[in-house]
Amino acid sequence: MNWKKLIAPLAALALLTVSACSGGTGSSTAGGDGVPAGATKEQYIAALADMKPVEYTVQLTSGPDSHYSAAPLAWTKAVEEWSGGKIKFNVLYSASRVSTRDMEKAMSEGLVDMGQHVSAFNPDTFKVADYASQAMYLHQTSPVVGSLQMAGAWIEFGATNKALREELQANDVQPLLPTVPTGSAVIMCNGQQATSLPEFAGKQVRPSTKGQAEQLAALGATSVDVPTQELYQSFQRKVIDCGALSLATSQVLGLAEVTTDWTVDHEVQLTGTPVGWSMSKSRYDELPLAARQLLWDRADVYIQAHIESTMFATYADAVSEAKAHHVKFHEFQPDARAALTQYFDKKTAELPSKAPAGVDGQAFIGDLKASHDKWRAEAEQLGYGQANTTWSDIDTYVKSGQLNVKPFVDKIVADDIVPNRPTK
């Protein structure tokens, strides 16, 4: 067994009792003069010259060498440099202080100042976030265009949707990038394949979310609850037949070692879950305007590293590991594909009427669909549709160096980051 790969997820789920928080070492009165969009590092350093230094405790979900950590680490480094050292970060790894499920509460109570969180894990508190996550199937599922479409649509939605952002702020969480996708779910099985309705019938499959459990039911499978830290052994001992998991989860846990067949389709896949990047609103509100603008403006660094590392580099490593362990790749048979498509069509029709109180479901889902249409068109227009690759060959494609995501990131920044930066 690869114990090293199990350490991070074990730690990520441990909830440790702590008696104090680091917080900021000092603060400046909010307000003050801001800086213009497109300001240089030198302009930012000058604007923050009189700011009292602060240090924030940041918690990440995985270890320092994980692709999952690449985006926040790139962002913290950029913010430290562009603030002239006035903003510093103490990074905690592998959810070592609080569980990922408790991150929003931890930020509001000062146990940590900022970090990665999944609001959909707490649907009773974050009803709007949970509602949004139920629609995380609107993208095309091709490896390049579909992944970019998903990233663009959800980053845009997180930057612009008022209900989503106000829900976090009401819980003392200041969203920076509240809905960043990591990819759809892959069906991973040990000793058998799951591609058709007869093959799914009676199978014990571990979903990652409530929505996936519904989708598995539409395929005829039975959902079983298995903690993340027990997945490796559950596959190894064949306690479960299959799991609905992201390639990122597979890569972190080393599941290619204990699975034999992966179903990853080019037309329809099970939904994923957006991960948020936020901070304590109380800490955020203490900062002068120029510092708050800096946190927002360096989203470009986060977004590029996320798409390059958390998405595509993770895809490549997961598939490479699968090939090294002789995993077989499959797509859904027509009956399973039709069952999932029917489920999603019905979900799309029902979602507008199931919005949380105070949310216009028709407009909410309409905006999400429009954003997905927009970012698919953008990806095609920028030439990403010419990528000649499949899910089973995404490792070769990514490692060939052909994929340059910067033009796509530049478009996200121009459309969604610059227009929505703090102004007061």
* Three-state SS at 74: helix
Determine, yes or no, domain membership for 206: no
**Angle subtended at Cα 239 by Cα 272 and Cα 95, rounded to the nearest 5 degrees:** 45
How far is residue 34's CA from residue 43's CA, in Å, rounded to a whole number?
10
pLDDT tens per residue, range 217-271: 999 999 999 988 899 999 999 999 999 999 988 988 899 999 999 999 999 999 9
pLDDT at 9: 39
pLDDT tens per residue, range 261-297: 999 999 999 998 889 999 999 999 999 999 999 999 9
pLDDT at 244: 95
Determine, yes or no, domain membership for 240: no
Determine, yes or no, domain membership for 98: yes
Banded model confidence at residue 208, pLDDT cuts 50, 70, 90: confident
- Residue 13, domain extent: 3-185+271-322+353-420
Q: What six digits make up the tokens of 401? A: 């160096």
Determine, yes or no, domain membership for 205: no
Going along 281-334, which residue ranges are E strands? 328-330
Least confident stretch, 17-31, 41-55, 85-99, 158-172: 17-31
333 pLDDT higher than 90: yes
CA 382 to chain centroid, in Å, comes to 23
Q: What is the pTM of this model?
A: 0.90
The mean pLDDT value of the chain amounts to: 91
- In this structure, is the dihedral angle defined by the CA atoms of residues 307, 312, 317 and 318, taken in order, positive or negative? positive
Determine, yes or no, domain membership for 101: yes
* Three-state SS at 23: coil
12 pLDDT higher than 50: no
pLDDT at 31: 55
pLDDT at 3: 39
Average of per-residue pLDDT across 135-163: 96
CA-wise closest residue to 348 among 361, 329, 335, 333: 361
4 pLDDT higher than 90: no
Banded model confidence at residue 22, pLDDT cuts 50, 70, 90: very low
CATH number at residue 143: 3.40.190.170
19 pLDDT higher than 60: no
Average of per-residue pLDDT across 376-396: 96
Cβ–Cβ < 8 Å for 114, 278: yes
How far is residue 184's CA from residue 262's CA, in Å, rounded to a whole number?
13
Task: Please give the tally of structural domains in the chain.
Answer: 1
The length of the chain, given as a count of residues: 424
DSSP state of 275: E
Strand partners, 279: 114, 174
pLDDT at 173: 98
